[in-house]
A and B are shown apart, each in its own frame.
Chain A
Amino acid sequence: MLLAPSRRAGYNSFVPSVSQSIRVKVLFFGRLKEIAGRAEEVIEAVDGSTIEQLFSQYVTRLPELARYRSSLVASRNQEFAAWDTALHSGDEVAFLPPVSGG
Chain B
Amino acid sequence: MATPLHEDIYQLVREPINMAELARHVRAPEDGATVTFDGFVRDHSHNRPTHYLDYEAYESMALAKMREIGAQLHEKFAIHRVAMVHRLGRLEIGQTSVFIAVSAAHRNPAFDACRFAIDTLKRTVPIWKKEYFEDGAVWADGELPPAPAATSRAKPAS
Contacts and interface: CB of A to CB of B under 8 A. Distances in A.
B148 A80 contact: yes
Interface in A87-102: 88, 94, 96-102
A97 B56 CA distance: 12
A78 interface: yes
B93 interface: no
B86 A101 contact: yes
Interface stretch (B15-23, B27-35, B58-66, B104-112): B58-66
B150 interface: yes
A68 to B, nearest CB: 11
A99 B147 contact: no
Interface residues of A, number: 27
B4 interface: no
A100 B101 CA distance: 20
Contacts of A84: 150-151
Interface of B: 39, 55-58, 60-62, 64, 86, 97-98, 118, 121-130, 139-151, 157
Interface of A: 27, 29-31, 71-75, 78-86, 88, 94, 96-102
Given A73-B147, A99-B143, A101-B55, 15 more contacts: A30-B128, A75-B61, A80-B146, A82-B149, A86-B157, A94-B126, A96-B58, A98-B141, A98-B143, A99-B142, A100-B127, A100-B141, A100-B143, A101-B121, A102-B97
